[in-house]
């Protein structure tokens, strides 16, 4: 068993993956519901900006507390500033820009597509992430791992299949088709950005001594500029006319909190596991949200759903087994080159 950090005796790596699974099950449902619950939909770019602000405040608190603890409990603002803004902090500019576009696209696609179609197509990010890990991190995946990745993607598609709405296609209206097409295009771009940003973040994080919270302070700080730009470009006139919080409901706040919380969990997952394992955690979350739909929305379990579930579980098991077999005797299994860690 891993000798890394633990929570109640369970390695943080597994705890973070389980928490991510639960968070992901909730996120899409809450995000989608927040978009349709009100007749006057809120400006999504403002939600992206606020979620970065929440992450910034939380991570700054965690990073500053760690720096203060190192300095004997005294908070040295200059040291915190140097830790956050000094050295190679500029490296976070790249994932910050990529994630901001991705986060905005995610809202656009979830507004254009139904939740099920969005979730299934967004799983393409499992493959885009694996490809980026291979290209950018030099991760080597053996044949079994590639097979598990493809099996995972097919399994998720099967799980989602019965849930996607044929009614939308049957409507056949040209407008509906182009909405669908635009939605799929935005998801596809979001998948590529997700893979690139995630793997780049992992590479920088595991290639330096800075803590994950400091890296995330940098990430959210640098994301706020592009996110603000997004507010001007996408919703500038609307915000000027109706106000920043126009159309907000308690569900908007819930979506912002869930997205911000998800970002923090993703950071921990990438630190203690890696981006590819993250893909497996989110796939299992899809099965969980479908099972929740049986109870919440009268979703019917079909043989195709069961076949997809079996494939996802098989893929997760096979990939996990391969990882155990290949794991070096290190507390932090990772896909990136890793110098000594400081936290």
In the complex, the residues that contact ligand C5P under the rule CB under 6 A are 55, 99, 103, 194, 198, 201, 216, 219, 259, 262-263, 266-267
- Strand-strand pairing, 10-11 and 6-7: antiparallel
Name residue, tokens 């920043």: 244
Closer of 23 and 309 to ligand C5P (Cβ)? 23
Distance CA 311, CA 15 (A): 23
Quick one: 167 exposed, middle or buried, by C-beta within 10 A (0-12, 13-18, 19+)?
exposed
Residue 190 CA to its chain's centroid (Å): 11
In angstroms, the CA 281 to CA 267 distance is: 14
Q: Which is nearer to ligand C5P, 134 or 307 (CB)?
A: 134
Residue 166 CB, nearest approach to ligand C5P (Å): 27
Closest residue to ligand C5P: CB criterion: 263
Distance set, CA 34 to CA 30, 160, 251 (Å)? 6, 21, 5
Please say which residue, 88 or 171, places its beta carbon nearer to ligand C5P. Answer: 88
Least CB distance to ligand C5P at residue 55 (A):
5
| Cβ-contact 59, 216 below 8 angstroms | yes
User: Cβ 304 to ligand C5P, closest distance in Å?
Assistant: 25
CA dist 274 and 282 (Å) reads 13
Q: In this complex, which beta carbon is closest to ligand C5P, that of residue 16 or of residue 305?
A: 16
CB of 197 to ligand C5P, least distance (A): 7
Least distance to ligand C5P, CB of residue 328, Å:
24
Residue with smaller CB distance to ligand C5P, 19 or 266: 266
């Amino acid at each position: 068993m891993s000798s890394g950090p633990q929570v109640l005796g369970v390695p943080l790596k597994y705890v973070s993956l389980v928490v991510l699974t639960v968070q992901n099950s909730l996120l899409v449902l809450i995000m989608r519901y927040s978009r349709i619950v009100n007749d006057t939909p809120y400006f999504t770019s403002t939600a992206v900006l606020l979620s970065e602000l929440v992450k910034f405040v939380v991570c700054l608190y965690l990073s500053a507390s760690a720096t203060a603890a190192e300095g004997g409990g005294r908070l040295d603002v200059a040291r915190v500033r140097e830790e956050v803004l000094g050295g190679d902090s500029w490296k976070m500019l790249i994932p910050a820009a990529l994630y901001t576009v991705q986060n905005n696209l995610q809202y656009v696609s979830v507004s254009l597509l139904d939740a099920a179609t969005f979730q299934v197509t967004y799983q393409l990010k499992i493959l885009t992430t694996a490809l980026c890990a291979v290209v950018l991190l030099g991760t080597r995946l053996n044949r079994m791992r590639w097979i598990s990745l493809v099996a995972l993607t097919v399994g998720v598609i099967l799980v989602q299949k019965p849930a996607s709405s044929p009614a939308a296609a049957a409507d056949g209206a040209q407008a509906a088709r182009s909405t669908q097409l635009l939605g799929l295009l935005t998801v596809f771009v979001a998948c590529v950005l997700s893979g690139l940003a995630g793997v780049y973040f992992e590479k920088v994080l595991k290639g330096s001594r800075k803590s994950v919270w400091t890296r995330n302070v940098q990430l959210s700080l640098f994301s706020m500029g592009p996110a603000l730009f997004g507010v001007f470009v996408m919703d500038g006139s609307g915000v000027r006319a109706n106000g920043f919080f126009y159309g907000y409901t308690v569900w908007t706040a819930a979506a912002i909190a869930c997205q911000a919380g998800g970002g923090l969990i993703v950071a921990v997952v990438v630190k203690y596991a890696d981006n590819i394992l993250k893909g497996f955690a989110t796939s299992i979350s899809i099965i969980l949200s479908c099972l929740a739909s049986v109870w919440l929305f009268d979703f019917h379990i079909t043989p195709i759903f069961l076949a997809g579930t079996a494939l996802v579980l098989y893929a997760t098991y096979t990939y996990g087994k391969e990882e155990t077999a290949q794991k070096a005797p290190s507390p932090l299994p990772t896909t990136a080159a890793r110098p000594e860690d400081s936290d």
